[in-house]
């Protein structure tokens, strides 16, 4: 999970993504949980997937995101499948995240073993490097729009969560994580951050205070991967054993969303909380899909050659 210098590379989690895609339907689908009493539902059941907004994602042209051939691009596409356009070509990138005003996108960009956080305007202009120490990845824009959370590879000390101003200034340490952490997601009020952290062979979703002072330890809420806080701050979406689940924000009342044998990763909520964008392997390669939170209406959004992954959904008029 690291190069010879001990630095964790940002493409490592994508190895797991493709490994999942390559083990199509080997895992049993037993244990599907229907919406049980007390499970999160409310207005979100039976929702249409025809939701407005714009989705940003990464495409790897040859379908192998683990090789350093700089054939990856950042694209945006309308949630109805129209308006596909590239923002950045010829890079090695991951984890795009929208600013709340939908004007900029932050992402991790790798060069060799060095990884830093960058931002770009939604029209593809003003590419800006925000960090410079070569060990930063997994950015997540705060709901207030004034900070970006990110992960830093601390070498033998593990992985830490930091936050910084959106121009890259004033980085502050938030917490050390157990294992090689991945993907950050802010709560609606900006006071907490959920993240994925594998430890002793078990990957858990943990929640930590977003404060940058004092001792700060994460609290595990459930087993799972790639957490995403709902727009209203009440629910978490995450992946467990290749399937999408939602739960209350404390990990209780879990309900499985996906119903097919397809494997999924990286859920991102629609602005109205009725649907999720995910990447999945139904075609034998990773593509972006939209699925309602009750499991209905799945549709494939992208058909680009290679592998498309790491979607992030924002509101209309981006």
Report d(CA 150, CA 173) in Å as an integer. Answer: 10
Within-domain flag for 217: yes
Within-domain flag for 1: no
Q: How confident is the model at residue 155 (pLDDT cuts 50, 70, 90)?
A: confident
The predicted pLDDT at position 32 comes to 34
pLDDT tops 60 at residue 258: yes
Report d(CA 298, CA 284) in Å as an integer. Answer: 16
* Average of per-residue pLDDT values in the chain: 83
Within-domain flag for 192: yes
Q: What is the DSSP string of 79-118?
A: TTS---EEEEEEE-EEEEEE-TTSSEEEEEEEETTEEEEE
Asked which of 157-166, 174-183, 224-233, 300-309 is least confident by mean pLDDT, the reply is: 174-183
What is the phi/psi pair of residue 117, to 5°?
-95, 135
Report d(CA 9, CA 203) in Å as an integer. Answer: 18
Mean pLDDT of 160-184: 90
Percent of the chain with pLDDT over 70: 82
Sign of CA dihedral 13, 226, 62, 102: negative
The predicted pLDDT at position 7 comes to 28
pLDDT tops 50 at residue 250: yes
User: Comparing C-alpha atoms, which of 270, 292, 279 is closest to residue 98?
Assistant: 270
Report d(CA 8, CA 247) in Å as an integer. Answer: 30
Long-range contacts of 201-208 (CB under 8 A, 24+ apart): 205/236, 205/238, 205/251, 206/177, 206/178, 207/249, 208/161, 208/174, 208/175
* Gyration radius from the chain CA atoms: 18
pLDDT tops 90 at residue 119: yes
31 within 8 A of 281, measured Cβ to Cβ: no
Mean pLDDT of 162-170: 96
- CATH number where 223 lies: 2.120.10.30
The predicted pLDDT at position 106 comes to 98
Which stretches of the chain are DSSP H helices?
Answer: 12-22
pLDDT tops 90 at residue 230: yes
Q: How confident is the model at residue 317 (pLDDT cuts 50, 70, 90)?
A: low
Asked which of 147-161, 197-211, 247-261 is least confident by mean pLDDT, the reply is: 197-211
Q: What is the pLDDT of residues 56-106, one digit of tens each?
A: 999 999 988 888 889 999 999 999 999 999 999 999 999 999 999 999 999
Q: Give the CA-trace dihedral at 98, 132, 180, 15, to 10 degrees.
A: 70
Mean pLDDT of 286-311: 94
pLDDT tops 60 at residue 47: no
Q: How confident is the model at residue 211 (pLDDT cuts 50, 70, 90)?
A: confident
Report the b/e string of 248-269 with b at 16+ CB within 10 A.
bbebebbbbbbbeebbbbbbbb
Within-domain flag for 6: no
Strand order in the sheet with 147-153: 136-141, 147-153, 159-165, 172-176
In the chain, the number of structural domains is: 1
pTM for the structure as a whole: 0.85
Report d(CA 29, CA 264) in Å as an integer. Answer: 13
Mean pLDDT of 239-264: 92
Within-domain flag for 161: yes
Within-domain flag for 229: yes
Within-domain flag for 4: no
The boundaries of the domain holding residue 100 are: 12-24+36-314
The predicted pLDDT at position 67 comes to 83
88 within 8 A of 122, measured Cβ to Cβ: no
Within-domain flag for 31: no
């Amino acid at each position: 999970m690291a190069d010879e210098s001990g630095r964790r590379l940002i493409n490592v989690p994508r190895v797991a993504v493709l490994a999942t895609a390559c083990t199509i339907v080997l895992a049993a689908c037993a244990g599907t949980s229907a919406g049980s009493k007390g499970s999160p539902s409310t207005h979100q059941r039976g929702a249409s997937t025809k939701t407005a907004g714009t989705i940003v994602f990464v495409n790897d042209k040859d379908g192998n995101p683990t090789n350093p051939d700089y054939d990856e691009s950042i694209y945006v596409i309308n949630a109805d499948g129209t308006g596909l356009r590239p923002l950045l070509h010829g890079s090695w990138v991951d984890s795009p995240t929208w600013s709340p005003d939908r004007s900029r996108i932050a992402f991790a960009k790798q060069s060799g073993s060095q990884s830093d956080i960058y931002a770009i305007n939604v029209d593809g202009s003003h590419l800006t490097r925000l960090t410079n120490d070569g060990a930063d990845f997994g950015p997540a824009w705060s709901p207030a729009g004034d900070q970006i959370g990110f992960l830093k590879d601390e070498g033998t000390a593990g992985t830490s969560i930091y936050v910084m101003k959106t121009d890259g200034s004033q980085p502050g340490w938030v917490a050390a994580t157990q294992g090689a952490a991945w993907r950050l997601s802010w709560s609606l009020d900006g006071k907490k951050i959920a993240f994925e952290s594998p430890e002793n062979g078990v990957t858990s979703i943990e929640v930590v205070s977003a404060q940058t002072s004092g001792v700060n330890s994460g609290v595990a809420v459930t087993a799972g991967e790639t957490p995403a806080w709902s727009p209203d701050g009440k629910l978490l979406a995450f992946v467990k054993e290749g399937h999408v689940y939602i739960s209350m924000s404390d990990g209780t009342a879990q309900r499985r969303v996906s119903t097919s044998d397809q494997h999924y990763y990286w859920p991102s909520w629609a602005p109205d909380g009725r649907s999720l964008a995910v990447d999945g392997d139904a075609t034998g390669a990773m593509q972006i899909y939209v699925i309602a939170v009750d499991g209905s209406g799945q549709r494939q959004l992208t058909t680009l050659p290679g592998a498309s992954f790491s979607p992030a959904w924002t509101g209309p008029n981006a």
